[in-house]
């Protein structure tokens, strides 16, 4: 349940109750008109709606026609779980997503007694134009954004802190949305939802950074602790891979598995490259890499270094990567990943020591290479015993 709180400065607070007859035999009751009629003609408002009857029902914003396709638990699983929500309003109209209505929903229409009524408690907060320092457009934008944040479950304390500390990234996004020229009424709700998702993501990042039990935040101390640890003798060879985002993701896999290197071949994007940074993050700095104009040249060079070359491709004679009889060479292995459309070059397949594949069970016969790479890389590490490690990837004894 969303807590009710005073969200707007210099707020005019109005409390009202609303009753609405539940249509017989229907799994929902449309509350939109009844709630709109109870809102005073204020320029910008937050309407906190709380369902005070029917404990088996919930209140939601949705297109009631979706309930024609199945029960609420199937088509709108959150609809019956929430007893309260917050909606922005302008003048005497609710600002709802296109096609949506404010409704009370039950899982089974038969559970609603004949002649039942829905009872709602409304708490309406509005910026008073004569006292507020915000112009009406900004107050409306602020109300819509606060409503979107509250609907996403952001606690009231965090909402209040957004304006108390404008140096934080989340607070800067909040302030920019309110200060910007207000979008047209038809797009304000969607714009507020997009900004709310951005702000909520930043707030989650702040909480994660402050949580001592999480290890998902990189630190210089952890990087320093890993200095001197040997890399695993895995070489990821990218055979004319088209997508820079796939390559960046593979660099990140390479870092997490502490592989020896990523070898880019042909037209595969290689560092430095701005698009690689979007998915690789700092892995471009921590993973060794080299480039060959030809994949066959890369294969020859690795062979000369004593590295076995295994291609990842779906072929008639390919080995199941997870089969008990598939053993990756402990002296070192190069895993060749091919182009997203044409796969590994047939000449490279002919030159390889082995071909390995990941079984699939749908209509597509292979995974995207950025998804396939970590599957096989971590199977190699499992076979080598590298996963029997301390948290963070450290072993008591180096391999």
- For 334-358, what is each residue's pLDDT tens digit? 999 999 888 899 999 999 999 999 9
Give 39's pLDDT tier (boundaries 50, 70, 90). confident
Q: What is the distance between the alpha carbons of residues 358 and 354, in angstroms, rounded to a whole number? A: 14
Q: What is the distance between the alpha carbons of residues 199 and 163, in angstroms, rounded to a whole number? A: 12
pLDDT for residue 1: 25
Q: How large is the average pLDDT for residues 149-156?
A: 75
CATH 3.40.1280.10-classified regions of the chain: 231-383
Q: What is the distance between the alpha carbons of residues 57 and 151, in angstroms, rounded to a whole number? A: 18
Relative orientation angle of helices 136-151 and 156-164, to the nearest 10 degrees: 140
296 or 67, which is more confident? 296
389 or 263, which is more confident? 263
Q: Is the pLDDT of residue 301 over 90?
A: yes
Per-range mean pLDDT, top range of 24-38, 238-252, 385-399: 238-252
Alpha helical stretches, state H, the chain: 32-37, 72-75, 136-151, 156-164, 169-179, 185-210, 220-226, 244-257, 274-280, 283-286, 295-304, 346-351, 369-383
pLDDT for residue 77: 73
Give 137's pLDDT tier (boundaries 50, 70, 90). low
Q: How many percent of the chain have pLDDT more than 70?
A: 80
Give 183's pLDDT tier (boundaries 50, 70, 90). very low
Instruction: List residues bridging with 125 in a β-sheet.
Output: 13, 46
Q: What is the distance between the alpha carbons of residues 136 and 142, in angstroms, rounded to a whole number? A: 10
Among 142-151, 257-266, 324-333, 361-370, the minimum mean pLDDT is found in 142-151
Contact (Cβ atoms closer than 8 angstroms) between residue 47 and residue 87: yes
Q: How many percent of the chain have pLDDT more than 90?
A: 22
Q: How large is the average pLDDT for residues 94-123?
A: 82
Give 280's pLDDT tier (boundaries 50, 70, 90). low
pTM summary value: 0.52
Give 284's pLDDT tier (boundaries 50, 70, 90). confident
pLDDT for residue 206: 78
Residues 6+ apart with CB under 8 A from 87: 46, 47, 49, 61, 94, 95, 96, 102, 147
Q: How large is the average pLDDT for residues 192-200?
A: 85
CATH for 231-383, options being 3.40.1280.10, 3.40.50.12280, 3.40.190.290, 1.20.1560.10 = 3.40.1280.10
pLDDT for residue 144: 75
pLDDT for residue 325: 92
pLDDT for residue 224: 41
Q: How large is the average pLDDT for residues 5-19?
A: 61
Give 127's pLDDT tier (boundaries 50, 70, 90). low
pLDDT for residue 334: 95
Q: In this structure, how many other beta carbons lie within 10 angstroms of the beta carbon of residue 122?
A: 17
What are the pLDDT digits (tens) for 81-90? Answer: 788 888 888 7
DSSP state of 339: B
> Which residue from 390, 360, 350, 353 is spatially nearest to 235, judged by alpha carbons?
353
Give 187's pLDDT tier (boundaries 50, 70, 90). low
Give 134's pLDDT tier (boundaries 50, 70, 90). low
Q: Is the pLDDT of residue 370 over 70?
A: yes
Q: How large is the average pLDDT for residues 137-146?
A: 74
pLDDT for residue 182: 47
280 or 397, which is more confident? 280
- Paired tokens of 223: 């990087």
Mean pLDDT of the chain: 79
pLDDT for residue 7: 45
pLDDT for residue 395: 47
């Amino acid at each position: 349940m969303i807590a009710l709180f005073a969200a707007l400065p210099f707020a005019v607070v109005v409390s009202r109750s609303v009753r609405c007859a539940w249509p017989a035999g229907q799994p929902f009751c449309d509350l939109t008109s009844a709630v709109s009629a109870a809102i005073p003609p204020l320029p910008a408002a937050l309407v906190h709606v709380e369902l005070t009857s029917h404990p088996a029902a919930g209140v939601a914003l949705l297109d009631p026609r979706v309930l024609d396709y199945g029960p609420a638990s199937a088509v709108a699983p959150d609809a019956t779980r929430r007893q309260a929500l917050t909606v922005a309003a302008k003048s005497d109209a609710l600002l709802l997503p296109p096609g949506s209505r404010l409704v009370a929903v039950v899982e089974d229409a038969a559970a609603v007694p004949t002649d039942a009524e829905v009872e709602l408690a409304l708490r309406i907060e509005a910026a008073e134009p004569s006292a507020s320092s915000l112009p009406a457009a900004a107050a409306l934008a602020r109300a819509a954004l606060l409503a979107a944040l509250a609907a996403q479950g952001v606690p009231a304390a965090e909402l209040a802190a957004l304006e108390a500390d404008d140096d934080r990234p989340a607070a800067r996004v909040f302030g920019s949305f309110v200060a910007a020229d207000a979008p047209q009424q038809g797009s304000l709700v969607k714009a507020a939802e997009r900004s709310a998702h951005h702000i909520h993501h930043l707030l989650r990042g702040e909480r994660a950074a402050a949580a001592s039990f999480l290890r998902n935040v990189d630190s210089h101390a952890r990087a320093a602790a890993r200095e001197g640890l040997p890399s695993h003798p895995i070489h990821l060879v990218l055979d004319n891979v088209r997508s820079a985002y796939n390559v960046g993701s593979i660099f990140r896999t390479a870092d997490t598995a502490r592989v020896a290197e990523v070898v880019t071949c042909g037209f595969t994007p290689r560092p430095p490259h701005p698009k690689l940074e979007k998915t690789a993050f700092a892995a471009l700095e921590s993973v060794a890499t080299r480039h060959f104009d030809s994949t066959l040249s890369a294969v020859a060079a690795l062979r000369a270094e004593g590295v076995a070359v295994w291609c990842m491709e779906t072929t008639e004679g390919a080995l199941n990567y997870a089969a008990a009889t598939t053993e990756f060479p402990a002296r070192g292995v190069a895993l060749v990943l091919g182009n997203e459309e044409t796969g590994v070059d047939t000449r490279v397949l002919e030159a390889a020591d082995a071909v390995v594949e990941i079984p699939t069970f749908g209509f597509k016969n292979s995974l995207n290479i950025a998804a396939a790479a970590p599957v096989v890389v971590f199977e190699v590490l499992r076979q080598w015993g590298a996963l029997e490690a301390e948290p963070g990837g450290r072993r008591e004894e180096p391999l």
